[in-house]
Amino acid sequence: MSSVRGSRHARIRMLTAVATVCALSAIPPEPQAPEPVGADTSTYTETFRPQFHFTPQKNWMNDPNGLVYYKGEYHLFYQYNPNGNSWGDMSWGHAVSKDLVHWKELPLALSHDDEEMVFSGGAVVDWDNTTGFGTRKNPPMVAIYTSAYKKGGKQAQSLAYSTDRGQTWTKYQGNPVIDVGSTDFRDPKVQWHAPTKSWLMTVSMSTEHKVRFYSSKNLKDWELQSEFGPTGATGGVWECPDLFPLAVDGDPDNIKWVLVVNINPGGIAGGSAAQYFIGDFDGKKFTAEDKGSYTPPAGSVVQDFEGGGFGEWTTTGTAFGRGPAAGAVDGQGAVSGFDGKGLANSYHGGDGATGLLTSPSFTVDSPYLNFRIGGGRHPHGAGTALDPTPPEGTVLADFEGGTYGGWTATGDAFGTAPATGTLPGQQQVSGFMGGGLVNSFRNGDSTTGTLTSPEFTVDKKYVNFLIGGGNHPAGSEGPTTVELLVDGQVVRSATGKDAEALDWASWDVGDLAGKKARIRIVDDNTGGWGHLNVDHIVLSDTRARRVSQETSVNLLVDGQVVRSATGANSETLDWASFDMRPYAGKKAQIQVVDRNTGGWGHVLADQFTAAEKPAQSVVQRADWADYGKDYYAAVSWENAPGGRRYMIGWMNNWDYAGSVPTQPWRGVQSVPREMALRTVDGRIRLTSKPVDSLDSLRRDRPAAASAVTVDNASKPLIGPAAGNKAMDLEAVFSVEDADRFGLKVRTGAGGEETVIGYDTTTQELYVDRSRSGSGDFSSAFPGVQTAPMKPKNGKVKLRVLLDWSSVEVFGGNGEAVITDQVFPDPSSTGVEVFAEGGTATLDHMQAWRLKSAWK
């Protein structure tokens, strides 16, 4: 799937003149958000603190757990680290709400201990006291969670119970209640299945891409009923499954079952996402509706690798061999999904080999280039260099020779000498030079220490070094950092990106010329990714460029990469497509790139075809509850009043979850959504809308705009001075002849904007957050997310929820939803309407400023 998916949506530029009158009533300036009663004045008004999404007062949060309604309260449990702002010591935090909008954070519910961490799961009210944990008069609330055992890594399903409405909890002495001996068996969701008068558990065999269904009469003794999968998107682990019935189009006589399977990575927008299947459940087995086989669009084959050599395509390096492969090569697992007898395969020599395979130059004369791709998931990074040669200069340390030389170590994280590569229990380390590097994974993440260089004089413009490992910046709790010390003070710092692969980092030290300095490598973190990898520190007058570690297929125009796709850590090839329309008539080349020497460090490619329509991958053909980057671990409440199905997801993505710039908390839940099954364009779809109770936060008087026609232009609707960081907007557009149109929100400082648009040429809703503020903490963060959506009667309807650090867009009747975090400057609060490539009309819009839910 293309790592630049949706890049055809160029940033909308401010253009000229708008015709038509805008009837717009202004919103008064927003006052400072109120504080929760009894809260410290330093909380809930931090720069990016959400005002109507749940966040804990402090510390790390991820998956929602144990969603159950009981005695007038919606219970939200969640994965929580009680000891810090990064992943670790997983326990269940707890909050309750009467309306799914105003939340009260409660004390820790289920705590990790010396034997286990408490991973995700569900909760039920045992009304008939089948467990014996309570009484019929006072039925127990029972949590079903995954015990993640610290010794050996096994995962099994366990119980805990509460007889005081979830205030205090007792772990069942007979735990675990299901143990299959697996290290990837997790996230049980339990419900009462009335037709069989038994409890039903839906649980994930994560790496096998399967969901298992178990039944029980007492929540303690379980019997396996069936399995589902693998099918659909399988590019990452399957987690947090949920199964529930819904009426189709509100018809109680037409009930379908929905199986939600969250996947990471391999989601529709990259990284984490919530996939779903629609089908039938008979009490034992879930059967998904048959969507039929897929036939890609026909076209003209450019390269099918069926000859004895690569023809006019040229190679460098050794990874691709002397010609096409006939499938797998020596040492490789079975390869599938290619056409004919041959394909390009860069596994010659194993993952350690690198190389390029480049087509002749050609003139772009087709709308799309379709092809099959497999192998490693290592996307192209903008601005990276294919040449790994380090800059020339003075090498301060290369960590060769078996010693640290004059460097001074404290603690036990760094050992007595450099590592020679990957340490026991560590994922594969790559990207270092020579035979040695600093690696603080000695005895795992639990060790800490420092490693400090001898003093040196800053006599060149840059300090360049290779760095990998944990992302825990200086100043955070438990940093993993490389620091530059001048006069004993930290004047520069860098951290890893939660990846074992090392890449170049650079400090501009021109202003420190002539100063005496030291470099200190700090590992003060004992949680997840609590280590650093460092190598080849060099003073130079040239800034080092990050080295490409991609396994990708790239389209080059004028020598620049303008489209890119990568594999999914799979030896099965899948379809991908490049939109070539912006480059019609230009000279281009196809380049198959393997610059990775770590795990899955190879790429597979076949069947390059020029076509009139794009081919779709398995991921694109799958069904998704949300098409944004930040909606994961989505699960629903049990026992909600009126039989309604409310769902919530963790508003984050494992690609950068540990790096988002929030403190003293990290992690936020989406707005709870009411789910429904509707027939859309002749097909049953899972749709969602924000819970109705969110309307209670709307201030009385909305801003209103009507009959605003924009012709290849952008026009302000609400100025930044209004200070509206939390808003609820409803808008309807008429589709005319514009290529793209929509709203820009959070506009302001330095050209910041988040673009919420509709592309008429592709019939897609999109969100472009490439200029949304802070996003340099991860190369996976900026970009464009798209969702398929057709206009209805020539109209496009949008509901947009803006919080201090997020945007949730509900298109149509909730069939196209995009959820993204954004981190703009607080002063960027403007709203604009735009059209590109023609004319569009904003029929009407209402925009409510939202009160804080924390009062």
CB 686 within 8 A of CB 289: no
CB 634 within 8 A of CB 240: yes
Task: Tell me if residue 200 falls in helix, strand or coil.
Answer: strand
Taking the C-alpha atoms of residue 78 and residue 60, their distance in angstroms, rounded to an integer, is: 10
Q: What is the DSSP string of 356-390?
A: EEEPPPEE--SSEEEEEEEE--B---TT-BS--PP
| Mean pLDDT value of segment 282-307 | 96
CB 286 within 8 A of CB 243: yes
**Local confidence band at 498 (pLDDT 50, 70, 90 cut-offs):** confident
Kindly list the strands in the beta sheet with 764-771, ordered across the sheet, starting from the edge strand earlier in the chain: 714-718, 830-836, 740-747, 753-759, 764-771, 784-788
* Residues 671-683 pLDDT 10s: 999 999 999 999 9
Taking the C-alpha atoms of residue 551 and residue 356, their distance in angstroms, rounded to an integer, is: 10
Residue 34 has pLDDT above 70, yes or no: no
- pTM for this entry: 0.87
* Residues 233-245 pLDDT 10s: 999 999 999 999 9
| Mean pLDDT value of segment 59-70 | 97
Handedness of CA 248, 251, 256, 259 (dihedral sign): positive
**Local confidence band at 230 (pLDDT 50, 70, 90 cut-offs):** very high
CB 835 within 8 A of CB 733: no
CB 551 within 8 A of CB 378: yes
Taking the C-alpha atoms of residue 311 and residue 108, their distance in angstroms, rounded to an integer, is: 64
* Residues 530-566 pLDDT 10s: 999 999 999 999 999 888 899 999 999 999 999 999 9
Average pLDDT, the chain: 93
CB 800 within 8 A of CB 809: yes
* Residues 93-120 pLDDT 10s: 999 999 999 999 999 999 999 999 999 9
**Local confidence band at 25 (pLDDT 50, 70, 90 cut-offs):** very low
Q: According to the model, what pLDDT value does residue 141 have?
A: 98
| Mean pLDDT value of segment 150-175 | 97
* Residues 639-689 pLDDT 10s: 999 999 999 999 999 999 988 999 999 999 999 999 999 999 999 999 999
Taking the C-alpha atoms of residue 24 and residue 18, their distance in angstroms, rounded to an integer, is: 15
Q: DSSP secondary-structure letter at 811? A: E
Residue 18 has pLDDT above 50, yes or no: no
Residues catalogued as catalytic: 63
Residue 147 has pLDDT above 80, yes or no: yes
Residue 28 has pLDDT above 50, yes or no: no
